Chains A and B, each alone.
Chain A
Amino acid sequence: MKTLIKIAFKNLNRQKKRSFLLGGAIAFGIMIVTVIDGFAGAFVANVAGNMADLFAGHVFVEGVEKSGTSKPVDIIRDDQVIAESLKAAGVEAKLVQKRSGTDATLVFEGKKANQSIFGADFAGESYLRKRLVLKEGSYDSLLEPKSLVLSEKVAGKIKAQIGDKILVQLKTVNGQNNVGEFTLRGLTHDMGIFSNILAYGSRDYLNELLALAPDEYQMYGVMLEDITKAEEARVALTAALKERARVFELPAPKPGEAASGGGMQQSRYQKLYRLAKKETWEGVKYRVFTVNDMISQVEDLVKVLNTASLVILAVLFVIIMVGISNTFRMVMYERIREIGTMRALGMQRPSVKRLFLFEAGFLAAGGTAAGMAAAGLVMAVLSLFDLGTGSFFSLLMKNGHLTFSVRPAQVVVNFAIVLVLTLLAAYMPARKASRLEPAEALRSSK
């Protein structure tokens, strides 16, 4: 066996150029797929991290109040029970933000746009001051009453500019129609699909329009030291809150159903939100969720990306397989006399076959290693570029830099696929070589 391995290595070395090209093709495929995997791996974490910054929290609590036959009202009047539960759950909050919010229609000079608006305390939210990147306007101007921050995309849709007064049509927490007038004082960069869900307005004024008292709000956001502990914190907080109050809980996913519920229609948060419409209770009931629950559709997107990368890998390697198969067929004819000599000297048929397969295996392993190294280099170079924090794509990045996270299991799967396909490609020429009769082979003039 050892001898076979040595010969296989020697054979690959004898035709350096050819080996380099074949291995290079494999390396290229592996590199592409690894970079895609790496991007997808960091995608969820980056989006979650950026969304957490914008929503000002990793774990959130919302209260829904109901009495008699009245409609449920999203409101937190007293957060003592939440604070107590946080303490009991051992969740250490780096920061706590209290916000109100609504879905509204913006109206400006005959133009309309739908927009979710968060009521933020611009004066008190130091974290927002740090994280909010304004393309136009200044954060200090937001301290004026009735301020509104929109993305440039939404402002462009209604053709509003800094200083314009925009009508905001909404419903109070009780469902009553109301309308207010905000002044556009800040524009953020276009955030693509998130543009319509991320706008900020002065909380005092928004509360007034929503018929909330100045100290009432709707979302209690808890920023943790480490975002990866968000789910753990949610579970602990839910358990602690359950001992003190009513809590909405989603039923456990059915066997075979994805954690996100399968499909991309609804995020886990949306499902949790709908429970308030279905269930009956008296008093306040809370829902606890993480930033990941709000963007669980992004996880589905990552699954799609991962599947796509596997398909790319398979397609690339089917093409590469054809090349490998032809090359090994050629190699067999080139070495036909050599095979005949080895067979005449006593090498058995299975050994000849193994020799070819070893060569293919080494090509796969070498190509994968080179591909991984190239992918590492590409990812390192790409992550060096500062692409800025002022575009929609910044939501997919970390502080304006692309980041990558390659899962070891995925690397193993990719290598296994490459190895199997390469061996399959070399198998037929290897079998043919092993079946050569020594005398015939030695007589051959090919």
Chain B
Amino acid sequence: MKRTRISAALAAAFLLLLPLSGAYAAEPDFEAMVRELDKLEDFTGMDFSGVFTIASEKPGEKQSVTQIRMFRRDSKKQFLILLQLPEAQKGQGYLKEDDNVWFYDPTSRKFTHSSIKENLNDSEAKNADFTRKSILDDYAIEKTEPATLGKFPIWIITLKARTGEASYDRMKLSIRQDKVLILKEEDFGASGRLMRTTLFPKYAEVAPGKFFPSQMLIVDEINKGEKSQVTMSELSTEKLPDKVFTKAFIEQVN
């Protein structure tokens, strides 16, 4: 259970690596739109930090709340995730540099090394959430269509996996027509069945022209009733001290 909750937190954090803002395009070139999403996918050139609170629900189980504080420096492929909730796991941390991840356990005061995938295996996060550098590397645009989602006119871009290694066979992105903001992402298996829906109802402008979701709802479409609501707060792109991305920092905050 503990691992699942941490993983859910990590999953949410990684999902937020997705591109979420952009300029208005009246006559969209959809490839360019997706490339725009790619370009805006990371925070290269700036640091990023925020607090993510994930409330997970499973049928017949009590709601679980996990809270993490995340620090990112994409230019150096670094991140630090510190667990704040649940209390039992408070102080645990994941420090990443390139492809290496160290897990810190405050009880034993020891670091253990692992790959990113090992840490996220149990979570809602899928391969693409942490390995995808470009949507168009993994997916090709199959279909586009205008539609309306709530009060927003949107473009629905259906993407088909280029290789069998992409996390899902198809993705449907619902993007606002007035700004390049994803409102909904639907992930489909090769069988054509919808497996996961992610909704992005609220955004915050973290830097001029750069939007970031402040709320997300991840719905497991296979296991009905399983969903996670992610709320982001204290979002900032202020420069972070270098010492944040060090083992000493994790030990110090503990």
Contacts and interface: CB of A to CB of B under 8 A. Distances in A.
B191 A177 contact: no
A179 B222 contact: yes
B164 interface: yes
Contacts of A208: 191
Given A110-B223, A167-B222, A177 B189 contact: yes
A169 B191 contact: no
Contact of A71 (B165, B187, B195, B225): B165
Contacts of B182: none
Contacts of B168: 176-177
Contacts of A167: 222
Nearest to A210: B190
Given A110-B59, A110-B223, A110-B224, A209 B165 contact: no
Contact of A178 (B59, B163, B191, B223): B191
A173 B126 CA distance: 15
A211 B165 contact: no
A175 B165 contact: yes
B191 A176 contact: no
B165 A178 contact: no
Interface residues of B, number: 22
Contact of B193 (A110, A112, A179): A179
User: Mostly helix, strand, loop or mixed at chain B's interface?
Assistant: loop
Contacts of A211: 164, 190
Contact of B190 (A70, A110, A169, A172): A172
Interface residues of A, number: 20
A400 interface: no
Nearest to B59: A110
B127 interface: yes
B167 interface: yes
Given A209-B190, A209-B191, A176 B165 contact: yes
Contacts of B225: 110
Given A110-B59, A179-B195, A174 B165 contact: yes
Contacts of A177: 126, 167-168, 187, 189, 195
Contacts of A110: 59-60, 223-225
User: Mostly helix, strand, loop or mixed at chain A's interface?
Assistant: mixed
B42 to A, nearest CB: 22
B22 to A, nearest CB: 27
Contacts of A174: 163-165
B10 interface: no
A180 B191 contact: yes
Nearest to B166: A176
A176 B187 CA distance: 11
Nearest to A205: B191
Contact of B189 (A70, A107, A175, A179): A179
Contacts of A180: 189, 191, 193
B186 to A, nearest CB: 13
A70 B195 contact: no
Interface in B146-202: 161, 163-169, 187, 189-191, 193, 195
A67 B168 CA distance: 21
Given A176-B164, A179-B189, A169 B222 contact: yes
Contacts of B167: 176-177
Nearest to A173: B164
A175 B121 CA distance: 12
Contacts of B193: 179-181
A331 to B, nearest CB: 64
Contacts of A173: 164
A193 B187 CA distance: 34
A387 to B, nearest CB: 38
Nearest to B127: A175
B248 to A, nearest CB: 32
A71 B166 CA distance: 12
A209 B169 CA distance: 11
A176 B222 contact: no
A112 B222 CA distance: 10
A169 B189 CA distance: 9
Interface in B197-225: 222-225
A80 B19 CA distance: 48
Interface in A145-181: 167, 169, 172-181
A211 B222 CA distance: 19
Contact of B223 (A70, A71, A107, A172): A107
Contacts of A176: 161, 164-169, 189-190
Given A169-B222, A177-B195, 9 more contacts: A107-B222, A110-B60, A112-B223, A174-B165, A175-B165, A176-B164, A176-B189, A181-B191, A208-B191
Interface of B: 59-60, 126-127, 161, 163-169, 187, 189-191, 193, 195, 222-225
14 contacts: A70-B165, A167-B222, A172-B164, A172-B190, A176-B164, A176-B165, A176-B169, A178-B169, A178-B191, A178-B195, A179-B189, A181-B193, A209-B190, A211-B190
Interface of A: 70-71, 107, 110, 112, 167, 169, 172-181, 208-209, 211
Which 4 residue pairs spanning A and B have beta carbons closest together? A174-B164, A178-B189, A179-B189, A110-B59
